[in-house]
Amino acid sequence: MSDTMLLPREVHHVKVPPIKCQGIKTKLVPFIFKNVVWSGLGRWVEPFLGSGVVLFNLTPKRALAADNNPHIISFYQGIQEKRVTAPEVKSFLEREGSLLLLRGQEYYYEVRDRFNSRHDPLDLLFLSRACFNGVMRFNKSGEFNVPFNHKTGRFSKSYITKIVNQVKWVSETINGKDWQFVCADWRDSFKTCKEDDFAYLDPPYFGRHTDYVGCWSKEEMFELIKAIKLLPCGYALSLWKKNLYRTNTLIDEHFSNHVIRVFSHDYFVGPTTDLRHEIEEALIIKPESAAKPMRTLEELIH
């Protein structure tokens, strides 16, 4: 392996960014990093940034971080441009948390209305931590519409400290790097990809839930599949493979000539624990970008 090779690598501790949203890949970061080969010479390209957990744990020198959700991009642009800082987040959450404790769900919906009017990044941070089950969802008018989680004491001193430290970590990670945060359609991101880049693709999981902003149709999923195969760079695509009830037929139908690695974990979006089920997630890798499977200690002994 070249000295410049950024992936594969072993990760034993995954840090979590401040923005919460469904489908966050915290559990999958070590799995992704050990299964992908990338020199690190070009840019790390994420057309579906989401929470940013993969990018922030990888820390490449150059990156294109894109998403069609303008509010996520605005939040991370704010951190990059020092408009959103750890001390500011601390004082904001202390104030808003006190008001939430005092006024309850009435205040949550007041903040939600305020965000839908002003689009303040700090209000988004508050909502992502006070809303039901950490879901990020917008209606057809582009308004955040997730209900309250009914936890008025959500913003304890320790919880605020945790979020503040996450903001501080993201700020330190971004600092000094050539990273672009852009609100863009995935097609625009694809147009910029070059040979030395690597594209990690985490689109909305078609057939499982709707996107956290806008709409994700079957037709768009098929368009993405065709476009992926034309990328000039290495790539890896995350898709759900199988759950308790269904199997994703798209994988066998369209990626038979790719390397498929599978990771199983519990998936939970719902009000009760009986909605927690195991899901198999597939990492679909361009053949030349796939790392050799790492051997276990038991295999090495034998």
| All structural domains of the chain with their residue ranges | 26-68+184-301, 86-168
* Domain range 26-68+184-301, CATH class: alpha beta
CATH class for the domain made up of 86-168: mainly alpha
| Mean pLDDT, range 269-273, rounded to an integer | 48
Among 12-21, 108-117, 260-269, name the most confident range.
Answer: 108-117
Judged against a pLDDT cut of 90, whether residue 281 lies above it is answered with yes
130-147 pLDDT tens trace: 999 888 999 989 999 999
Q: Euclidean distance between the first and final Cα of the chain, in Å? A: 25
Going by C-beta distance under 8 Å and a sequence separation of 6 or more, which residues neighbour residue 4?
Answer: 39, 40, 41
Confidence of residue 265 (pLDDT cuts 50, 70, 90): confident
Q: Which residue has the higher pLDDT, 20 or 43?
A: 43
Average pLDDT estimate for 191-215 = 78
Residue range 253-261: average pLDDT?
97
pLDDT confidence of 78, banded at 50, 70, 90?
Answer: very high
Portion of the chain with pLDDT greater than 70, in percent: 88
pTM above 0.95, yes or no: no
Region of poorest pLDDT, from 10-19, 30-39, 210-219: 210-219
Mean pLDDT within 173-196: 98
What's the mean pLDDT when you consider all of the chain? 91
Scan for tokens 């969802």, then name that residue. Answer: 137
* 287: pLDDT strictly greater than 50: yes
206 pLDDT tier (thresholds 50, 70, 90) = low
N residues, the chain? 302
pLDDT at 208: 45
Instruction: Give the pLDDT of residue 3.
Output: 54
**32-61, pLDDT tens digit by residue?**
999 999 999 999 999 999 999 999 999 999
On the question of a common fold for 26-68+184-301 and 86-168, the answer reads no
State mean pLDDT over 74-82: 98
CA distance 59 to 29: 12
Q: Which two tokens stand for residue 277?
A: 């089920």
pLDDT mean over 9-25: 92
The model's confidence at residue 216, banded by pLDDT at 50, 70 and 90, is confident
